[in-house]
């Protein structure tokens, strides 16, 4: 049965520092604040517990379960929310590092962990060069979880550039896609909102992104502007650059109406083209 009851989504734009304990404490407080405002699902930013940078990943990396995931589990349980835990640098048992998003249920249980599939390796001459692959390994699984409100697909930052991933999530029945992300001062103003609106319109889904707040003194300066976009491609909630929580009411009846009015799913020419997962996640 298609779920159509509206629910409140909260996106936390956290000011991230070099002090992990402070990041965890502030995140926990903002999760509690979001729940008090009626949020049923809360999204944290990419690398919410550490500065973003290849030099920081090994220093801040943890196992899951570990210190940060334990705090997130407790926060989800005490606030009775579904919690998309942004991302943290994760170290597996073999010593490999990943950029990983853990997701928790209202009972504090770990529902899944999404390891960033597409590593952020770019070189824009004179502006920015960044190579996540210098320290991180890519994930290899799709990540979908169910709530009483809707089905949710998870990506991290650079994952949003790959339309095929969003299409696969849509085929799996997702009505909301969430992307904790830390676009920068070059790619942020150029592509951040454009990509979110594109993924939303292409797949007729809600799209939510959670960025760290902007810190001009950091070695990597995040763009901010955490956003929620409707299935019509309309920006319905958007932060500035500072630490804040933004909210959006996710209306699945509206989503169903959009899909009925412009029925692209039924109109796709699967006899000519298709997008399929090579490996199911």
Residues classed as catalytic: 46, 116, 157
Sign of CA dihedral 132, 57, 23, 148: positive
65 cis-preceded (ω within 30 degrees of 0): yes
Phi, psi of 51 (to 5 degrees): -60, 150
Q: Which two tokens stand for residue 162?
A: 């790959």
Are the beta carbons of 138 and 163 closer than 8 angstroms? no
**Residue among 24, 30, 28, 69 nearest 242 (CA):** 30
Question: What six digits make up the tokens of 210?
Answer: 């959670």
Task: Give SS3 for 89.
Answer: strand
Determine contact, residues 246/10, Cβ cutoff 8 Å. Answer: yes
Phi, psi of 139 (to 5 degrees): -75, 170
């Amino acid at each position: 049965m298609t779920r159509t009851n509206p629910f409140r989504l909260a996106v936390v734009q956290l000011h991230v520092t070099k002090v992990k304990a402070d990041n965890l404490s502030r995140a926990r407080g903002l999760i509690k604040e979001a729940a008090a405002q009626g949020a049923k699902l809360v999204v944290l930013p990419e690398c919410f517990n550490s500065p973003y940078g290849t030099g920081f990943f090994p220093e801040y990396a943890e196992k899951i379960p570990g210190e940060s995931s334990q705090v997130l589990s407790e926060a989800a349980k005490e606030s009775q929310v579904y919690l998309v835990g942004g991302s943290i640098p994760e170290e597996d048992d073999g010593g490999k590092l990943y950029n990983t998003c853990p997701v928790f249920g209202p009972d504090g249980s770990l529902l899944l962990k999404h390891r960033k599939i597409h590593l952020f390796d770019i070189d824009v001459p004179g502006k920015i060069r960044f190579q996540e692959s210098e320290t991180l390994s890519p994930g290899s699984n799709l990540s979908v979880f169910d709530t009483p409100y809707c089905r949710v697909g998870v990506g991290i930052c650079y994952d949003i550039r790959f339309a095929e991933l969003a299409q696969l999530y849509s085929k799996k029945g997702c009505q909301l896609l969430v992307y904790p992300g830390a676009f920068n001062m070059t790619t942020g103003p150029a592509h951040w909102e454009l990509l979110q609106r594109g993924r939303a319109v292409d797949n007729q889904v809600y799209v939510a992104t959670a960025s760290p707040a902007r810190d001009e003194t950091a070695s990597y300066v995040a763009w901010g502007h955490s956003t929620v976009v409707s299935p019509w491609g309309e920006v319905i909630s958007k932060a500035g650059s500072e630490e804040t929580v933004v909210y959006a009411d996710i209306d699945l009846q509206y989503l169903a109406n959009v899909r009925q009015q412009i029925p692209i799913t039924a109109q796709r020419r699967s006899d000519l083209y298709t997008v399929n997962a090579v490996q199911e996640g």
